């Protein structure tokens, strides 16, 4: 009896390598041209802030001829005290970015901590913290910032504190909603089942899985913080003379907008481009890191 031969070939499935969510997010981010442009603007102003001492052609307090128009000597012209506007805009980048980053870092830390506690423990703790957030959100943000600075006294540091406080509820509510979802996941239930303490669960599981929305909101909040700092500076409640803060520069130049428009144009452009960069980058991060935005 002839032997039966089978030529059937068996194909073994090839497992695709796992890609880190952060690597996948960066890959998606690079596809967004507007987001990459925004990231470039942000890095541009960060470099200007870091190397302000090297890039500024003059000391930002040095005075000379008043209201000189833009020229080869003074690229952005001079203000009403004869100070070089380019130098003040360059040093102003350091002030505005510092206020933006530090205030958002502070509000993100406090808001995330309160949001994690409220979302994870719920009940009475959640009710108390959520009511605090509701009270802070009941006030218009800029009016609340003005009230805080008015109580503490006008200064750049107090403006930073005020901006941090008014942004705490935004981070808190965002993280709370994320934690409410994460704590119902199977790996959290399994961690509780094996006796893992709440501290370890929050630190090793809940917080890392809540990072993506914090990063997205942080990038957008920096843009808002820069505008709020400029608004407080414009009202005389932020940076005090001779600090070259962009909002304060606009306030000092508002009476000369027709006589010397360059004194308003260049600080205004600096604010606009910086905020535009953070907004474009934040939108790109949201599209890249938010699973709901993926096809």
The rounded distance, in Å, linking the Cα atoms of 85 and 92 is 10
Instruction: Give the Å distances, CA to CA, from 75 to 68, 72, 78, 79, 251.
Output: 10, 6, 9, 12, 21
What is the pLDDT, as a whole number, of residue 196? 79
Q: What's the predicted TM-score (pTM) here?
A: 0.82
Q: What six digits make up the tokens of 66?
A: 């008043």
Domain segments of the chain as ranges: 31-57+72-293
pLDDT for 151 equals 92
Cα gap 161→105, rounded to integer Å: 11
Axis-axis angle for helices 85-121, 262-289 (nearest 10): 30
Cis ω for the linkage preceding 242 (within 30 of 0): yes
Question: Tokens 């600096």 appear where?
Answer: 270
Which residue from 228, 236, 222, 230 is spatially nearest to 275, judged by alpha carbons?
222
Which of 28, 15, 42 has the alpha carbon at shortest distance from 284? Answer: 28
CB–CB of 273/41 below 8 Å?
Answer: yes
Residues with Cβ within 8 Å of residue 51, at least 6 apart in sequence: none
What's the average pLDDT block by block, 10 residues per block, for the chain (295 residues)?
49 52 74 90 94 92 90 92 93 92 94 90 89 91 91 91 94 89 78 77 78 85 91 88 88 88 93 93 81 51
**Which option is the CATH number for 31-57+72-293: 1.10.10.10, 3.30.420.40, 1.10.3720.10, 3.40.50.2300?**
1.10.3720.10
> What's the pLDDT at 14?
47
């Amino acid at each position: 009896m002839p032997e039966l031969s089978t030529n059937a070939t068996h194909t073994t499935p090839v497992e695709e390598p796992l890609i880190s969510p952060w690597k996948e997010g960066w890959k998606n981010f690079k596809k967004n041209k507007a987001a990459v442009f925004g990231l470039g603007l942000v890095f541009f102003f960060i470099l200007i802030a870091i190397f302000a001492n090297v890039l500024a052609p003059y000391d930002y307090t040095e005075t000379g001829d008043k209201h000189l128009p833009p020229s080869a000597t003074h690229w952005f012209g001079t203000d009403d005290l004869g100070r070089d506007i380019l130098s003040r805009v360059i040093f102003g980048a350091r002030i505005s970015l510092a206020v933006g980053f530090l205030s958002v870092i502070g509000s993100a830390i406090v808001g995330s901590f309160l949001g994690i506690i409220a979302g994870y423990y719920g009940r009475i703790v959640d009710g108390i913290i959520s009511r605090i957030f509701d009270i802070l959100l009941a006030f218009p943000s800029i009016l609340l910032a003005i009230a805080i600075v008015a109580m503490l006294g006008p200064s750049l540091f107090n403006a930073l504190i005020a901006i941090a406080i008014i942004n705490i509820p935004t981070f808190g509510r965002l993280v709370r909603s994320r934690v409410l979802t994460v704590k119902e996941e199977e790996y959290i239930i399994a961690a509780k089942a094996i006796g893992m303490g709440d501290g370890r669960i929050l630190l090793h599981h809940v917080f890392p899985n809540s990072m993506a929305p914090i990063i997205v909101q942080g990038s957008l909040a920096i843009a808002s913080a820069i505008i709020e700092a400029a608004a407080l500076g414009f009202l005389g409640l932020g940076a005090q003379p001779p600090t070259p803060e962009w909002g304060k520069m606009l306030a000092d130049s508002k009476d000369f907008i027709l006589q010397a428009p360059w004194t308003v144009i260049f600080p205004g452009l600096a604010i606009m481009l910086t905020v535009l960069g953070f907004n474009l980058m934040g939108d790109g991060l949201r599209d890249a890191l938010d699973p709901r935005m993926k096809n």
